[in-house]
Amino acid sequence: MSLTLLNVIVAVVIAIAFAAVNAAYLVWAERRGAARIQRRPGPNINGPFGLLQPPADGIKLMTKQLMIPGGADKILFMVAPVLAMVPAIMSFVTIPFSEGIVARNMDIGVLMIFAFASMGAMAILFAGWGSRNKYAVMASVRAVSQSVSYEIPMLITAITVIMVNGSMDLKAISLNQAGGFWHWNIFPSLQSPLMPISFIIFFICSLAETNRAPFDLGEAESELVAGFHTEYGSMGFGLFFMGEYANIVIGACLTTILFLGGWGCPFGLFPGVWWFLLKIYLLIATFIWIRWTFPRTTIYGLLNLSWKILIPISLFNLLLTAGLLKVF
């Protein structure tokens, strides 16, 4: 009993550490990547290749005074950044990095991750409402309508994958795809010929869910100043920032597990955690690449894309897969 408890605590600590280190160094990677794309050096002063920039930023953010604007709702204002960070870290607990490396495998892992992901919208709403700032309120309303409209196609696509694999257990889904890239869910099979499209939909939705360009309407810095975190400084802002990057990692992990075969090797050799990490960082690099290439969509363009294109297609795909599962 006590050993299991210890196990859980160690696992949670590792999850937090993984999330935090990832968040910090993804900021560095993003800044360096953006600099590459924009033909400038990026942070390169602190340490070799600027690798000490994230700790320096962290210290700066933590030592700054936490300002609460006058008239703000103090409780909501303080709760929101924490609420942005905690679900992201919690989601790591159930992600299987390889067959042996998983903190707590659950039968309903997919469901749990989606449940926690939904809480991100709450954090943004709290932040916007609690800040007592018109820009923040407008941004948070945008972000929530965006989250709601993109969770639907995302879930429908996930259900398609779950139906094909017959499990909501992330580990089982991964194992189901083992033994070479032709087994991966991303490639069409008899039961689900539209899987590549599902993958694209899922990827677009995870971009939108993380509130990043071209879907960064919740921040929209050239329109709404800084969106929902306009009034946040110091570590409040830092937590939102880290939460965003942790969410990116979660999105990449989930995409890898659901579509790209988890920790499986493309050629069936040496499956393990290295393949998993390689895949998620490739996905994250794509996230960064997209962010620094595309301009921002409009709010109606964004909602139209979800309700008029993504949801019908994913629903059709769901029905098709359900029918074909019965046939084959």
Token output for 119:
């809480």
Long-range CB contacts (within 8 A, 24+) of 72-79: 72/130, 72/131, 72/132, 72/231, 73/129, 73/130, 73/132, 74/130, 75/130, 76/126, 76/127, 76/129, 76/130, 77/126, 77/127, 77/130, 77/131, 77/231, 77/236, 78/236, 79/126, 79/130
Q: Which is nearer to other proteins, 46 or 297 (CB)?
A: 297
Q: Is 97 exposed, middle or buried (0-12, 13-18, 19+ CB in 10 A)?
A: buried
We find the least distance from the C-beta atom of residue 193 to other proteins, in angstroms, to be 27
The site for other proteins (CB under 8 A) is made up of 34, 37-40, 134-135, 138, 142, 213-214, 216, 220-223, 225, 292-301, 304
Separation of alpha carbons 263 and 256, rounded Å: 8
Q: Which is nearer to other proteins, 203 or 276 (CB)?
A: 203
We find the least distance from the C-beta atom of residue 35 to other proteins, in angstroms, to be 9
Q: How many CB atoms lie within 10 A of CB 11?
A: 16
Q: Which is nearer to other proteins, 97 or 228 (CB)?
A: 228
We find the least distance from the C-beta atom of residue 37 to other proteins, in angstroms, to be 5
Q: Which is nearer to other proteins, 11 or 299 (CB)?
A: 299
Q: Which is nearer to other proteins, 225 or 324 (CB)?
A: 225
We find the least distance from the C-beta atom of residue 209 to other proteins, in angstroms, to be 18
We find the least distance from the C-beta atom of residue 222 to other proteins, in angstroms, to be 5
Residue that the structure tokens 């790591």 belong to: 92
Alpha helices (runs of H) in 166-233, residue ranges in sequence order:
170-176, 195-209
How far, in whole angstroms, is CA 30 from its chain's centroid?
A: 15
Q: Which is nearer to other proteins, 49 or 294 (CB)?
A: 294
We find the least distance from the C-beta atom of residue 213 to other proteins, in angstroms, to be 6
